Structure 1
Amino acid sequence: MDQGQSQDILHRFLSSKIIGAKDGIMSVVTLGENPKKLDTALLNTITTNASLKLNPTHISDWTILLGALQDPIAQILSEEDYTLTPDLEKYPRTNISIPSNDQESDQGGWATKFVSKATSPKTDLLAGKTVALKDNIAFASVRCTNGTTATSWTPTIDAPVATRILDAGATITGKAACENACMEGDSDTSCTGPVHNVYAYGYSCGGSSSGSGRLVSSGEVNVAVGGDQGGSVRIPASMCGIVGLKPTWGLVPYTGILSLEATIDHAGPMARNVRDCAALLEVMAGPDGIDDRQPCNLPKRSYMADLDASLTDCKPLAGVKIGVLSESLSIPGISEPIVTLFHRAVSTLRDLGAEIQEISIPLHADAAAVWMCSLPLSGAPTALLNASTGRKQLHLNDRAPLPALSQDSFDALGPGAQTLYLRYLYLRHTTPPAFHGKCTNLLRRLNDAYDLALQSVSVLLTPTLPHPPSKLFPDPSSHGPLERLSRNLNLVANTAPFNSTGHPALSVPMGFVPARDDEGVKLPAGLQIVGRKFCEGDVFKVGAAFEGSGDWKTF
């Protein structure tokens, strides 16, 4: 093509202004009247860094095509962001303070305290209830640590779940401590300090929603909101002797909550009984019109009314088919006292009228390993670099994305988050491009296996965790990452698979078991009830029936 032809093409581009509009899809929208050219040296730097060589005769074309971005970029950067604006008059927040000692923090449960109550609630569903928010949930003017000093952030928005809670008449009394970057199963990694188990000081509350578990268990609040990507609601629920639900993926909006990885993000209720758990879910559930995790046609359910109606009989589970997931009892290192408690719980459900059958899903045995390999490539950029491209959601632009972790940021992370980042670098360097896609396909196969099993039973049962809480390290930094993380080997074997598939999973307390290092120390253990997607009523019904059969603390 000679220079005259090139100039003719450029003239036609400029005279039309809009290129490719009739096709509906275009990469060049406009070149403008007087297109700016990209500096040739900059173009050379960009292509050299990408190991590309351009046709020398096309260089001028590319400086025009890329230079056309400069004015739109400047215009976009000058625009006011389109985000959420909190109504500080309707939802005031006062008495914001950071606890200065164990008494003020309830042995580490609180990250930040404040008081917020709507001036004109819409309902009274949570009237009189006090609520704690996990410290990865945005609440304007209140710091959000995410359990780490790697990034500092004070949000300017309120997460929709927080607004819904206030609209239901509750009082939010603070942010509950969470573990470092929400990537830990023990409660001694948060930047706000260790969180101690109510039943044995010096033992773990579980993570990453450690403070939420502690504050509900101790009675500091009636209910709390946790987050769950591998078990982070159900682990502390089990270890703290409370009820915790990971809802169906997409049922509760995750808008304004720090993401670990979109396909496994869940926010869920934590309470001392199933009915309060159902009440909090009822308030939080439903589409917000922003979060792309959510179906747009979710029906509104009255979980409390459904639950009350289902428990009127002396045999409340008559006709209910329950499957015992056999592979869940063969987790390497599973505690025999937990297995014993589990079988006792199954017998109790049978006495309540349930029809019990054993269900084998061989894929369950390897599911947590696939989850572990799937998470780094997509989760590390999201959780640690705040990258969220390709998503229709509220982007938290005041918490700016990072190109990579600095040394200081890496050092500020706990061993779980450091492991996630190093595994991300390792997998990106060593595995073929299709590796993450294959993990995703295998997890879909697991999903289909659970769905098939749930065609013959209403719910599946597993122990929530394979072993009791670990002892906290008085000085965690003096222990290496292998020692710290080894305390919880196979911890998420029965929880993480249901994050990947999105099935609802409820943990209810089923009794006490001895600590691994001291038989004289008794700690809670949980029963996990897994249901069909968007059938939270089924897991609540089974959980409440078991709860009503007797005081779990006597088991």
Structure 2
Amino acid sequence: MALPEHESGSIRVTGEALKPVLDKAGLKLTDQLIEDFSVLLTGFEATVNSLPDDAAVQPRPDLEKYPRTDIHIPEDNDLGGWATKVTAKCTAPKNNLLEGRTVALKDNVALAGVRCTNGTAMVEWVPKVDATIATRIMDAGATITGKSVTGPVHNPYAKGYSAGGSSSGSGRLVATGSVDLAIGCDQGGSIRIPAASCGIVGLKPTWGLVPYTGILGLDATIDHAGPMAKTVRDCALLLEVIAGPDGWDDRQPPVELGGYQLDFVDDVDAVTALPKNTMLSGLKVGLLSEGFQIPGQDQHVVESVRSAAMKLAELGATVSSVSVPKHLEAPVAWACSIPASSPQGALLGNRHGRKQLDFSDRCELVSQKLTQAQFDALGPGASYMYLVYLWAQEHHGPKIYSKCINLLKAVGDAYDLALKNVDVLITPTLPDPPIRLPEAGYSQGPLNFMGKTLMLLANTSPFNCTGHPALSLPVGFSPAQDDPNVKLPVGMQIIGRKFRDVDCLKVAAAWEKAFDWKTM
């Protein structure tokens, strides 16, 4: 293909350069039109060339105030937990909410000077910015000690079994005590799934409560970042630190979230200070019937969660069954909508249509399509998503995404209607206990990894699409499906009204205070 001609530092677009573009688009223009558009495009190129460097307007960190040292890839990665180690902290924190605490960031969260792999070797990228939540964590007195792996990681309760994903490393590192707290990111369950698998607490906040600025995402409509911790109180504490608008993320209103609280710990403490049988007095809990009816669901998991949910009545809550038939439709719409559109932003860096911080330096590392080497570096989930995207663009166009977005609005409305009659909904987080990690890893091919994905996400992905807060709380153990002698954690999912994350936390904190999940 002929390239635009360069004259005295400027670019002149010729008809010879324009014709291949027209051919690829299936357009035919007269010679006169080609000449006219060539002149106009020459002006466009001159305008592009006149743009100033955007580095000056990016939120570059003050490395004297927020120094980071000892950046390295550890030889001992805690059975897959660590991607990169670092010591990053603030020399003059704004508060002491997290003083003395250590925190791991999922490896799609930008921390300037530290490689950001996003779980793939597709590109080698070291960001120059800090994610908003990374700055807030350091401003609260915590030390960021590394980036956690996204991918196959060993379960902390049984080596050889999955720690869940994709915030796998964050789940394991918290469970093993390698860090006090961690950040996970969730587009279909990726905070709650590893939390359930690893026996910790993980909250996918209300969509827009926590800024996603400086974080590699999948699709802005479903991207969530949130806290992972051993206890509900610590989960509430980390949420308190990272929540609130930052002026960059257009998912957040440009003013304070009027009417919605951004402090959570006091309410958690108030609930747990009450006598056991009054901790949840007046609260209405709905067992979401369809969440216990996932095809092929493990009955040990079902009974464990049902038993745990019924114990909320001992704490003063009213527990009843609630039906939302559209709950079973949501995972299908999620599965169709995401790969049909998301790779534009997630893999190709084309995150148009949003007002947010974009990684212009990373965009230079990818093009309008992946190279063979970039595709080969993807894991099974990302490679599947990219191929579905190519297929859908060729055979369906934008209709799938549009149709799914409309259907998912109706799903969200159905949850809102149910939540008018109850304060929270309950489901199992996962339909099954964690599976055994394949010995051959990704080399066994994508079918081996993707075969059970839709069912795995059946109870988690709907709330990414609707934006409701959802928390996973460990409530017991279940035998592994391939070995009854192996016991693995079970998570109970608590779903609340939008921006009522505190209700999820209060219910979880009361249950955690009253019962010992490890003896259930």
Question: Could you tell me the TM-score, scaled by structure 2's length?
Answer: 0.94
| Partner of residue 109 from structure 1, selected from 46, 56, 81 | 81
Correspondence list, 1:10-25, <5 A:
none
Cα deviation code 1:321-345 (max 9, x no counterpart): 1111000011011111011111211
Mean CA deviation greater in 165-174 or 312-321:
312-321
Question: Residue by residue, what CA displacement relative to the aligned partner does 1:472-508 show, whole Å, maximum 9, x if unpaired?
Answer: 1122244232123235551000000000000000000
2-structure distance, mates of 1:36, 1:232:
46
Larger C-alpha radius of gyration, 1 or 2? 1
Q: Letter of the aligned partner of 1:370 in structure 2? A: A
- C-alpha change, 1:520 and 1:291, in structure 2 (3 Å) is same
SS in 1 for 2:483: coil
2:469 corresponds to which of 504, 507, 529 = 504
Structure 2: how far apart are the matches of 1:417 and 1:318?
A: 45
SS state of the match for residue 90, structure 1?
A: coil
Give the secondary structure class of the aligned counterpart of 2:287. Answer: strand
Instruction: Show structure 2 runs of 5+ residues with no match.
Output: 1-9
> After TM superposition, what 4+ stretches of structure 1 lie above 6 angstroms from structure 2?
none
- 1:147-166 aligned within 5 A: 147-166=119-138
Q: Distance in 2 between matches of 1:397 and 1:370?
A: 31
Change (3 A) 1:326 1:374: same
Q: Tell me which residue corresponds to 1:307.
A: 268
Task: State the Cα deviation string for residues 78-107 of structure 1 (Å, max 9, x = none).
Answer: 67553121111111111111111xxx2111
- Aligned-residue offset at 1:406: 1.3
Select 1:286's aligned residue among 241, 244, 249.
244
Q: Secondary structure in 1 aligned to 2:285?
A: strand
Give the distance between the partners of 1:47 and 1:69, measured in 2 at CA.
Answer: 17
Look up the SS of the partner of 2:329 in the other structure.
helix
Rounded Cα–Cα distance in structure 2 between residues aligned with 1:79 and 1:345 = 52
CA RMSD of aligned residues (A): 1.6
Percent identity over the alignment is 54
**For the residues of structure 2 that align with 1:349 and 1:89, how far apart are their CA atoms?**
49
**Mean CA deviation greater in 442-451 or 487-496:** 487-496
2:339 to 376, 389, 393: 376
Aligned to 2:228: 270
Residue 108 of structure 1 and its aligned partner are, at CA, apart by 1.4
Residue in 2 that maps onto 1:19: none
Which residue in 2 is equivalent to 1:86? 61
The residue number in structure 2 matching 1:254 is 212
Give 1:416's match in structure 2, choosing from 367, 375, 381. 381
2:177 paired residue number: 219
1:486 aligns to what? Answer: 451
- TM-score normalised by L of structure 1: 0.88
Partner deviation per Cα, 1:405-449 (whole Å, 9 max, x = no partner):
111111111111111111111211222542210110000010110
Partner of 2:433: 468
The one of 317, 320, 330 aligned to 2:280: 317
**Match for 1:429 among 394, 400, 418?**
394
- Taking the aligned partners of 2:444 and 2:45, their CA distance within structure 1 comes to 51
Residue aligned with 1:118, SS: coil
Post-superposition shift, 1:391?
Answer: 1.9
Per the alignment, residue 39 of structure 2 pairs with 64
Deviation at 1:379, TM superposition (A): 1.0
Aligned to 2:15: 40
Per-residue deviation, 1:301: 1.8
Matches of 1:512 and 1:52 in 2, distance apart? Answer: 62
Say if 1:58 and 1:430 are closer, same or farther in 2 by CA, change over 3 A. closer
The answer to whether the aligner puts 1:364 opposite 2:322 as a matched pair is: no
2:6 matched to which residue of 1?
Answer: none
Distance 1:157 1:99 in 2: 23
Tell me, in whole angstroms, the C-alpha distance in 2 between the residues paired with 1:70 and 1:99: 45
CA deviation after TM superposition for structure 1 residue 37, in Å? 6.4
Amino acid aligned to 2:85: K
Matched, 1:144 2:116: yes
Deviation at 1:62, TM superposition (A): 2.4
Displacement of 1:49 in angstroms is 2.2
1:521 partner SS: strand
Equivalent pairs counted in the alignment come to: 504
